[in-house]
Amino acid sequence: MSEGILSLTINGEAHRLVSAGHRTLLEVLREDVGLTGTKHGCELGECGACTVLADGVPMLSCLTLAARVGDAEVTTVEGLALGGSLHPLQAAFAELGAAQCGYCTPGMLMTAKALLDTEPDPSREQIKQALAGNLCRCTGYLKILDAVDAAAARIR
């Protein structure tokens, strides 16, 4: 497929890249921009490890062509910290042991951020629903749900 100029806004920074049209947003983020915090999991849209935000909405970057992102503002885990300090979700995940191997954590954090941005006081059920597309294979989900709960309380 032919190469073209790709303009993306990632974590508030404008990027112009030469990229083939078939490349996914995940490939461009990790291989071209060097943002490896977004994880490559199943590449089937089942695990949620590659979740990033496009204009605040969770998006599976492994199933999204970079060329289709257009003007949307992309946010990755690297863009989550506010200035020099951790986002309340990051702090809560770290403090409450919600990450074990940490591979699913960036995707969990991005999905949880989208939830808290639209619903600052989610019920346990709403947190479970929101994170249903993000798989964790080591800690179990209780600590993750607790961390989202704790972060929501801190933000409010």
Partner 1 sequence: MKDYAVVGRREPRVDATAQVTGRTTYAGDITLPGMLAGGLLQSSQAHALIVHIDSAAARDLPGVHAVITGADLPVPYGILPVSQD
Give the DSSP H/E element, type plus range, for residue 15.
strand 13-20
Q: How far is the CB of 16 from partner 1 (least distance, A)?
A: 21
Q: How far is the CB of 100 from partner 1 (least distance, A)?
A: 9
- Nearest 5°: CA angle at 74, between 20 and 127? 125
Q: Which is nearer to partner 1, 103 or 126 (CB)?
A: 103
Q: Which is nearer to partner 1, 4 or 147 (CB)?
A: 147
Binding residues for partner 1, rule: CB under 8 A, are 30-31, 35-40, 76-78, 80-81, 86, 89-91, 93-95, 97, 99, 102-103, 105-106, 109
Q: Which is nearer to partner 1, 35 or 47 (CB)?
A: 35
Cα torsion 79, 84, 90, 94 to 10°: value is 140
Q: How far is the CB of 94 from partner 1 (least distance, A)?
A: 4
DSSP state of 87: -
Beta strand pairing status for 13-20 and 3-10? antiparallel
